[in-house]
């Protein structure tokens, strides 16, 4: 059992998708919320709606967590506002997709800073105080990509593998200190993620952010350290325990090869035309 009432959650990447859904769901459970993302305008609109809907206190911190100064700003603002963070949700993340030589190096650098460095820095900032109080929780959003190499998305897959390993290790380290740490591993989810990574970066049918968050909070309450959202996604994650990493990389490559989805659409359209004829 995890008690939410009267505590404070800090959520990164909170302006939309899974982050915004976490904000709504945690506020509904009685938590005050600290929203972190780049767009202050979108965060303010979300804050207003949460206050109106749930009557909880909501703080807004606009910061770019792919920049070390942005991470420092969040930590500084939490301290200066006298906030105690009881639940940290490291949700912010981006993906890159394509042939490696076509991906801008600076974009992959941003990915590593946001998906990996920011997660570590914010954990360092808030975990020690949780342990000192003897209670607290961290939810790190990984991915089904956490379980195997991902061809055409190598930096993204590696970053999410880091999140899974990092979270699982910390979960054991802090288990007896009253702090729960969970790696949430969703598959393709209906969010703005694919606006930057591209629709070709999706494998399988998409689930909703509400489903992913419901899965996460149930697992948190059960004291689990890793949870995969969705039955089919869980089966895929188990496949990586049976098949070699090179085979899994080939499998992901078959579904994520640049131009693959357009080719399938073209073939499907051609097949339809032939059937009509």
What distance in Å separates the CA atoms of residue 63 and residue 186, rounded to the nearest whole number? 25
Contact predicate 183/225, CB 8 Å: yes
Token pair of 95 as six digits: 């993906």
Catalytic residue among 4, 152, 156, 174: 156
Q: How many CA atoms lie within 13 A of 113 on its CB side?
A: 15
Contact predicate 181/138, CB 8 Å: yes
Rounded CA Rg of the chain: 19
156 is known as an active-site residue:
yes
What distance in Å separates the CA atoms of residue 141 and residue 165, rounded to the nearest whole number? 12
CA end-to-end span of the chain = 61
- 3-state helix, strand, coil split of the chain in percent (to 5) is 60, 15, 25
- The residues that bridge with 137 in the sheet, in sequence order, are 87, 180
What distance in Å separates the CA atoms of residue 210 and residue 61, rounded to the nearest whole number? 23
Query: What is the set of active-site residues?
Result: 156
């Amino acid at each position: 059992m995890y008690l939410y009432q009267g505590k404070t959650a800090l959520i990164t990447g909170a302006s939309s998708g899974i982050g915004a859904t976490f904000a709504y769901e945690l506020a509904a459970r009685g938590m005050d919320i600290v929203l972190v993302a780049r767009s202050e305008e979108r965060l303010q609109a979300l804050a207003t709606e949460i206050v109106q809907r749930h009557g909880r206190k909501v703080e807004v911190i606009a910061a770019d967590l792919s920049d070390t100064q942005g991470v420092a700003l969040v930590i500084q603002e939490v301290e200066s506002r006298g906030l105690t963070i009881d639940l940290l949700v490291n949700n912010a993340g981006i993906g890159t997709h394509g042939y490696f030589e076509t991906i801008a190096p600076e974009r992959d650098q941003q990915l590593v800073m946001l998906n990996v460095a920011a997660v570590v820095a914010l954990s360092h900032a808030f975990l020690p105080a949780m342990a000192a109080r003897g209670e607290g929780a961290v939810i790190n959003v990984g991915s089904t990509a956490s379980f195997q190499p991902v061809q055409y998305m190598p930096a993204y897959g590696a970053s999410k593998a880091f999140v899974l390993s990092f979270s699982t290790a910390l979960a054991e380290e802090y288990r007896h200190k009253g702090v729960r740490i969970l790696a949430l591993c969703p598959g393709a989810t209906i969010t703005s993620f694919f606006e930057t990574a591209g629709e070709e970066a999706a494998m399988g049918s998409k689930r909703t952010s509400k489903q992913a968050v419901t899965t996460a909070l149930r697992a948190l309450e059960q004291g689990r350290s890793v949870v995969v959202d969705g039955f089919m996604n869980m089966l895929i994650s188990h496949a990586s325990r049976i098949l070699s990493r090179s085979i899994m990389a080939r499998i992901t490559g078959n579904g994520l090869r640049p131009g693959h989805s357009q080719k399938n659409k073209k073939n499907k359209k051609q097949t339809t035309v032939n059937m009509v004829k």
